[in-house]
Amino acid sequence: MQLTQSDSVIRTESLLVELGGLPILREISIEIGRGELTALMGGNGSGKTTLVRALLGLTPHQGGRVELFGVPAAEFHDWRRIGYVPQRGAVNIKQATVKEVVATGRLSTRRPFAPTSATDRSRITAALAAVGLADRARHPFTQLSGGQQQRVLIARALAAEVDLLVLDEPFAGVDLRVQDSLAELIGGLNAAGTTVLVVLHETGALAPLLTKCVVLREGRVVHVGAPPEEAEHYHETELPPERPLLTGLIGEAS
């Protein structure tokens, strides 16, 4: 299905990404439309995180095209529309309150040397309320549980004027009950109109809410379309069985 330009949030055409001279992603052509809740799945080393990084311009691509909101990535500057929630392990916060972490999400609109505006404050409060952590604003970030830290990182992304939310393995290292509540939060944001792209190891609690599933294998798209019926593990079959369990627990290295 060809989407009209205004409805396309992410579009890639024959995307090629090489790292250290090795092709990591080849011939990636995907399209994500407004309002979708798309899972990007695949086993370890299939290129999920690299694809997300390439879409966001964090990793350069060597061939093909990336369009964000119908604009070629190189010309895209409307960063306030994109909220990025990286893997929790990639964040290096030693000394900060929850509110200070969420406040950094306003920087796509805030100018250097500008003081915190009333809009900034109300967006920060609203973002914290949206993830159910309004009462933790003054709490030190490092003392929160894994699931709560994940919520803070989602709030940080929501603090801008986000139309697209990109989450990299939000379920890594949090238990099933917390996964359920995070899935509920992500589903609620999507229902309220935010387009969501989420990197997942297994569909888990999000399975019933997904509108689309993109499955990568060895750097290529092997499936686009309806999410799998059952929660499936997309790992290489030759891997020892404890491997996916371990990566699920300790988070996957990018």
Partner 1 sequence: MEFLSLAFMQRALLAALLAGVTSPAIGSYIVQRRLSLLGDGLGHVAIAGVGLALATGTAPLPVAVATAIVGAVIIELLRQSGKASADVAMAILFYGGLATGVLLAGLVGQGTGTLSNFLFGSLLSITEADLWIIFALAAVILITTIGLMPQLFAVCTDEDFAKVMGLPVRAYNLLIVVLAAITVTVSMRTVGLLMVSALMVVPVATASNLLTGFRRSFFLAMALGVVAAVAGVIGSYYLNAPPGSLIVVITIAGFVLSLPLAAGLKRWRQHEQVIEITDRAPFLHETTRPHEGHSHGPDCGHRAVIHGDHTDYIHDGHRHAPHGDHYDEH
| Contacting positions for partner 1 (CB under 8 A) | 53, 56-58, 77, 79-80, 82, 84, 86, 90-97, 100-101, 103-108, 110, 112-113, 116, 138-140, 143-148, 156, 160, 175-178
CB-nearer residue toward partner 1: 103 or 213:
103
CB-nearer residue toward partner 1: 174 or 213:
174
**110 token code pair:** 């805030």
CB 208 within 8 A of CB 236: no
CB 166 within 8 A of CB 66: no
Instruction: Look up residue 245 and give its DSSP letter.
Output: H
Question: What is the nearest approach in angstroms of partner 1 to the Cβ of residue 166?
Answer: 8
Residue 199: strand pairing partners:
40, 168
How many Cα neighbours within 13 Å face the side chain of 181? 14
CB-nearer residue toward partner 1: 62 or 211:
62
CB-nearer residue toward partner 1: 128 or 221:
128
CA distance linking residue 57 with residue 74, whole number of Å: 8
CB-nearer residue toward partner 1: 132 or 228:
132
Question: What is the nearest approach in angstroms of partner 1 to the Cβ of residue 13?
Answer: 22
Question: What is the nearest approach in angstroms of partner 1 to the Cβ of residue 176?
Answer: 6
**204 token code pair:** 């888990």
CA distance linking residue 158 with residue 81, whole number of Å: 9
Question: What is the nearest approach in angstroms of partner 1 to the Cβ of residue 4?
Answer: 26
Using alpha carbons, select from 70, 111, 104, 61 the residue that is nearest to residue 84. Answer: 104
Question: What is the nearest approach in angstroms of partner 1 to the Cβ of residue 91?
Answer: 5
Instruction: Look up residue 248 and give its DSSP letter.
Output: H
CB 182 within 8 A of CB 131: no
Question: What is the nearest approach in angstroms of partner 1 to the Cβ of residue 239?
Answer: 25
SS3 20: coil
CB-nearer residue toward partner 1: 177 or 246:
177
Residue 53: strand pairing partners:
none
CB 216 within 8 A of CB 47: yes
CB-nearer residue toward partner 1: 14 or 116:
116
Question: What is the nearest approach in angstroms of partner 1 to the Cβ of residue 56?
Answer: 5
